[in-house]
Amino acid sequence: MGKIGILLINLGTPGAPDTASVRRYLKEFLSDPRVVELPQWLWQPILRGPILMTRPRKSAHAYRQVWMEHGSPLAVYTRAISSALQQGLPELVVDWAMRYGNPSIASRLEAMVAAGCDRILLAPLYPQYCGATTATALDAAYEALRKMRAQPAIRTLTPYYADPAYIEALRASTLTQLAALDFAPDLLIASFHGMPERTRLLGDPYRDQCVETARLLGEALGCEVRVTFQSRFGRAKWLGPATDDSLRKLPGQGVGKVAVLTPGFAADCLETVEEIAIRAKADFIAAGGHKFVHLSCLNASRDAMNLYENLARRELAGWLER
């Protein structure tokens, strides 16, 4: 038999922190009907007009604040996760791809098949299922497979928002990072990426899965973990409460020290480093807060690799000999 592969899939990133690269990335990202659920005849003139004329410059500035030596944080950490998982599971072929930008899902699937993989686990790195993340990643993979003459057998990673190994990884990572602080937070906030409220009403389970993750983590830690949602875009009603609004109100409610974790993100990225660790911190301090910390995502930590190896062996049961 051929080889077994795992393709880790994350959201995407521009190739460079400049306006032109960010414009190309945003055009691809925001043209996805899974991401913006408006008729294309209505949405495309708006996207190609005011949005792509103004937003790329602002976003490029944000990317420059967090850009690392070898690329954007999301690319650097996703690559590191892939490398570490390959070391932990040397009998497999482990690769990674981005839904938007490079390396593309199609190119990595082709490379894995060329390397002899006849069985592949597609693993979107989203603990909570959402149509705008998990589903569109799988859409792109299925479209690439549709063009193949000889297709590999495919499995997909189920959402792991309540998996005991995931909750334990979050618990261990949170405790390790809190122990390194010079203060004890008054409140622990779990900030998840926001989605339009309309998606929940149409049946997307994302919000409920986020709330369940926070509830289980709170039980494991023995403290309150308050849920908020970040990254609003456009004028539609989004899931709430909003992270930025909540943080501005907390000092007036007697909360002067806060720690924010972002458990919906497998790897640190623009939304965690720039939006939370930089901008949200500034908002909280300006509102009268005293201490603020963003707790890093799992990234390629030992806690993360214990989780991913556990998930991989479970999902590959029957293919992979234990």
Q: Is 193 annotated as a binding residue?
A: yes
> What confidence score (pLDDT) does residue 233 get?
86
Query: Per-residue pLDDT tens for 60-96?
Result: 999 999 999 999 999 999 999 999 999 999 999 999 9
3-state DSSP of 178-220:
HHCCCCCCCEEEEEEECCEHHHHHCCCCHHHHHHHHHHHHHHH
Q: What's the pLDDT at 1?
A: 76
Dump strand ranges (E) for the chain. 3-12, 93-100, 117-124, 153-156, 187-193, 225-230, 257-261, 291-295
For residue range 15-25, what is the model confidence (pLDDT) as tens digits? 999 999 999 99
Strands of the 291-295 sheet, one edge to the other? 225-230, 187-193, 257-261, 291-295
The residue type of 276 is I
For 255-302, how does the pLDDT look when each residue is reduced to its tens digit (9 = 90+)? Answer: 999 999 999 999 999 999 999 999 999 999 999 999 999 999 999 999
172-188 burial, b if ≥16 CB within 10 A, otherwise e? bbbeeebeeeeeebbbb
On whether the pTM is more than 0.85, the answer is yes
pLDDT at 309: 97
CATH architecture of 164-295: 3-Layer(aba) Sandwich (3.40)
Strands 187-193 and 225-230: parallel
Q: What is the maximum alpha-carbon separation in the chain?
A: 64
In angstroms, the CA 9 to CA 99 distance is: 7
Q: What is the pLDDT of residue 311?
A: 98
Provide, rounded to the nearest whole percent, the portion of the chain with pLDDT above 70: 100
28 is in an annotated binding site: no
3-state secondary structure 163-180: CHHHHHHHHHHHHHHHHC
Query: Boundaries of CATH 3.40.50.1400 in the chain?
Result: 3-160+303-315, 164-295
pLDDT reading at 322 higher than 70: no
User: 29 pLDDT band (50/70/90 cuts)?
Assistant: very high
Q: What per-residue confidence (pLDDT) applies to 171?
A: 98
Q: Which CATH number fits domain 3-160+303-315: 3.40.50.720, 1.10.3720.10, 3.40.50.1400, 3.40.30.10?
A: 3.40.50.1400
Look up residue 177 and give its two tokens: 């990072």
Q: How many other C-beta atoms can be found within 10 angstroms of the C-beta atom of residue 245?
A: 12
The model's pLDDT over 206-258, given as tens digits with 9 standing for 90+, comes to 999 999 999 999 999 999 999 999 999 888 899 999 999 999 999 999 999 99
List pLDDT tens digits, range 101-157: 999 999 999 999 999 999 999 999 999 999 999 999 999 999 999 999 999 999 999
Q: What pLDDT does residue 19 have?
A: 98
CA-to-CA dists, residue 264 to 202, 207, 253, angstroms: 21, 11, 26
Pairing of strands 153-156, 93-100: unpaired
